[in-house]
């Protein structure tokens, strides 16, 4: 059910859950003030309780009310990248951020989204927790139709059309005296060089599995029901469906689901989840994926999402 921003604010301020567009992906929003609504977000998604949520704020000026003991460069990062697709994991003021949101960690994740509808809504509701608006494990939602496919046509959604970035925010954590990337996202590692003087490393999430730096990274993610076969060289006898690029030539027998131009990673990011979802909509059991892509910039995020989507747990 498509609802206005005013209706969404009314529902959120009454302790209900609604879906909201952001510049990255749609979020399943609940007010920080309603523990019951926060629990409902976990149960609607089928999300494990040890996977914490991101707190979305309307402005970086609010940050000091919810976090403290800021690591170096925190405010340089917020000044340059907020509002926008950056999430910062910071020491939380634990009296204010409920334990369920933090999954009992001493830290919490924060983001100020730039989407005008998300901004407007936050100004009417105050802080909102918002995981991606998809069933846990499935591809994220970048269109109201994706939200409806997962939660039903009666689920309240603010219709902001398709998300422009198309992949989730980049998550930075402070670890052993440096910022590290806990989740690759819409901002490439190179984006942070000018502020930090170094490119933050991507942490290996499997390494510290007992106390993972970013718990969500341990779970099955972004995966369609279809089995994906990642390849750098599409076999000549390739039949069936191939996820690839409009400017490349593939063997004649396969049907191309295009991620756009292979020189424009932003285009591929914008289309990624819609293409993965299309496989399931059409009941496709298997697809090849062309991953002959550079090891840099936004391509790193896309390749990480595709590798996770291809995992059979
Ligand atoms: O772009 C986005 O970030 C979207 C939109 C809706 O804002 N949200 C999103 O939320 O991707 P979600 O719940 O799908 O992913 C949040 C990630 C999870 O991997 C979680 O483990 C991590 O953030 N996270 C949250 N709090 C954390 C914390 N205190 N320490 C480390 N990781 C944390
Ligand atoms: Mg998610």
Q: Are 301 and 186 in contact (CB under 8 A)?
A: yes
Residues 36-41: contacts with CB under 8 Å, at least 24 apart: 37/12, 38/98, 38/100, 38/101, 38/129, 39/100, 41/17, 41/129, 41/131
Q: Kindly give the distance from the C-alpha atom of residue 247 to the centroid of ligand 1, in angstroms, as a whole number.
A: 34
Write out 135-173 in H/E/C secondary structure: CCCCCCCCCHHHHHHHHCCCCCEECCCCCCCCCCCEEEE
Predicted local distance difference test score (pLDDT) of residue 97:
98
Residue range 260-271: mean pLDDT, rounded:
98
pLDDT digits (tens, 9 = 90+) for 19-58: 999 999 999 999 999 999 999 999 999 999 999 999 999 9
For position 31, what pLDDT does the model report?
Answer: 98
Mean pLDDT to the nearest integer, 159-173? 98
* Residue 123 clears pLDDT 70, i.e. is over it: yes
Q: Ligand 1 atom closest to Cα of 171?
A: 23
- Residue, of 212 and 19, whose pLDDT is higher: 19
Retrieve residue 29's tokens.
């929003």
Report the SS3 class of residue 79. helix
CA of 227 to the centre of ligand 1 (A): 26
Cβ-based neighbour number of residue 154 at 10 Å: 7
Asked whether 127 and 57 are in contact (CB, 8 A), the reply is yes
Of 69, 25, 70, 68, give the one whose Cα is nearest residue 45.
25
Q: Output the pLDDT for position 207.
A: 53
Judge whether residue 212 has pLDDT over 70.
Answer: no
What are the residues whose beta carbons fall under 8 Å from the beta carbon of 114, sequence distance 6 or more? 22, 23, 83, 84, 85
The DSSP element (H or E) to which 244 belongs, if any, is: strand 240-244
* pTM, full prediction: 0.96
Contacts of residue 69, Cβ cutoff 8 Å, sequence gap at least 6? 90, 91
Q: What is the pLDDT of residues 287-313, one digit of tens each?
A: 999 999 999 999 999 999 999 999 875
Tell me how far apart the alpha carbons of residues 157 and 144 are, in angstroms, rounded to a whole number: 7
Ligand 2 center from residue 140 Cα (angstroms): 6
């Amino acid at each position: 059910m498509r609802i206005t921003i005013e209706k969404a604010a009314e529902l959120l301020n009454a302790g209900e859950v609604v879906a909201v567009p952001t510049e990255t992906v749609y979020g399943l929003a609940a007010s920080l003030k309603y523990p019951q609504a926060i629990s409902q977000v976990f149960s609607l998604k089928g999300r494990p309780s040890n996977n914490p949520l991101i707190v979305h704020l309307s402005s970086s000026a609010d940050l000091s009310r919810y976090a403290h003991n800021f690591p170096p460069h925190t405010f340089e990062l917020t000044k340059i990248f907020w509002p926008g697709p950056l999430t910062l994991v910071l020491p939380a003021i634990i009296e204010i951020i409920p334990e369920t949101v933090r999954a009992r960690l001493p830290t919490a994740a924060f983001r100020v989204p730039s989407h005008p509808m998300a901004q407007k809504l936050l100004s009417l509701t105050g802080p909102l927790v918002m995981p991606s608006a998809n069933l846990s494990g499935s591809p994220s939602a970048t269109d109201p139709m994706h939200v409806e496919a997962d939660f039903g046509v009666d689920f309240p959604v603010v219709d902001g059309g398709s998300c422009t970035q198309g992949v989730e925010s980049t998550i930075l954590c402070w670890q052993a005296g440096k910022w590290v990337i806990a989740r690759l996202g819409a901002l490439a590692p190179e984006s942070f060089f000018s502020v930090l003087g170094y490119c933050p490393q991507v942490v290996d999430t499997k390494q510290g599995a007992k106390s993972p730096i970013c718990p969500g990274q341990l779970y099955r993610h972004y995966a369609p029901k279809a089995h994906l076969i990642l390849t750098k060289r599409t076999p000549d006898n390739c039949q069936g469906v191939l996820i690839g690029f409009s400017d490349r030539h593939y063997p004649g027998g396969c049907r191309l689901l295009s991620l756009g131009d292979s020189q424009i990673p932003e285009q591929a990011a914008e289309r990624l989840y819609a293409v993965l979802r299309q496989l399931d909509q059409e009941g496709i059991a298997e697809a090849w994926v062309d991953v002959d892509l550079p090891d840099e910039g936004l391509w790193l995020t896309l390749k990480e999402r595709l590798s996770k989507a291809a995992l059979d747990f």
